[in-house]
Structure 1
């Protein structure tokens, strides 16, 4: 049985954090749908650390087509969810449908991968993450803790169905862990 993964994002998504998971899913013959507030060409951004600058910098990245509007997504049709970082999670998290989708994956114990600022989406459904452990980009720690979740300082962390990572340098381990959780779900349903 082929798996189907949803990537929730929008403009200003960190380029590596959306392209890497998307292409890795395709390499594993996993159907992958990118959904954004409106079906459109997304403007990605590139975050990097430059000597002498106390925070990350942001530059325009590649354009990437989203496949669907978030409003047209039925989360029941998907086996896993990935929420990349960048600034996109700051604004998509306010969309009630995004909150509904995140809640569905948490309630149904389906695999969720959040990297960097992607954790901000989960903080809007705090009733489902209270007491859960996750990591995120360090600047997101206050929001993770305010949601009732426990912030873990490790660059990669797995708590049941939630796979979380600090940032794009952690993508190889993040995707390995996500695929492992996705496979465990498959083995349990057989």
Structure 2
């Protein structure tokens, strides 16, 4: 039986942080659903450091969400990924997004959060208090305000949560997420 992974995001999601996990799941024959506040074509963005002390943002590729958050039953999924970008800033205010996230944490299912994706976890504080996680450096105050310990490493695993700093950490992030999901790579001849 194939595993099922849910990606919760919205407009202004960091392009690499949604495309990379989505296609990696498909490569592993994992059924993957992208859900957003409304089912629609999402505008992704590209963040990078150019000539400013903070990151810049440019529009990137479009990607379809497959479902509205309201249509998601989290019990149907084995794992959750929350990418970064600016999407988590408003997705975290969605009550259904909070319920979905709480379900995965409460039931000890694999949760992968990268970059600003951690902002969604801060809205379900009782499940992250006392936990260790990393995120994009600017999210440290929110992580600590939620009662979690901010880890300065670019990749960290604490129980069922794998957290990553930013898109350059995606290879290790997905490797650790797949370990939590118990995806085994079979040798091919």
Which TM-score band (shorter chain)? over 0.9
Q: Which residue of 1 aligns with 2:177?
A: 178
- Note the aligned Cα RMSD (angstroms): 0.7
**Mapping 1:2-81, distance limit 5 Å:** 2-50=2-50, 52-81=51-80
How far apart, CA to CA, are the structure 2 residues paired with 1:102 and 1:66? 18
Give 5+ residue unaligned stretches, structure 2. Answer: 184-189
How far apart, CA to CA, are the structure 2 residues paired with 1:182 and 1:138? 26
How far apart, CA to CA, are the structure 1 residues paired with 2:173 and 2:127? 22
How far apart, CA to CA, are the structure 2 residues paired with 1:173 and 1:129? 22
Q: Which residue of 2 aligns with 1:146?
A: 145
How far apart, CA to CA, are the structure 2 residues paired with 1:133 and 1:102? 17
> Could you give the per-residue CA deviations for residues 64-119 of structure 1, whole angstroms, max 9, x where no partner exists?
00000000000000000000000000000000000000000000000000000000
Q: Which residue of 2 aligns with 1:188?
A: none
Give 5+ residue unaligned stretches, structure 1. Answer: 185-190
How far apart, CA to CA, are the structure 2 residues paired with 1:98 and 1:66? 14
**Mapping 1:55-134, distance limit 5 Å:** 55-134=54-133
How far apart, CA to CA, are the structure 2 residues paired with 1:149 and 1:102? 16
Q: Please state how far the C-alpha of 1:57 moved relative to its aligned partner.
A: 0.5
How far apart, CA to CA, are the structure 2 residues paired with 1:37 and 1:106? 20
Q: TM-score, normalised by structure 1?
A: 0.95
Q: Which residue of 1 aligns with 2:164?
A: 165
Q: Please state how far the C-alpha of 1:49 moved relative to its aligned partner.
A: 1.0
How far apart, CA to CA, are the structure 1 residues paired with 2:177 and 2:126? 23
Q: Decide which structure has greater helix share.
A: 1
How far apart, CA to CA, are the structure 2 residues paired with 1:25 and 1:56? 28
| Corresponding residue pairs, total | 183
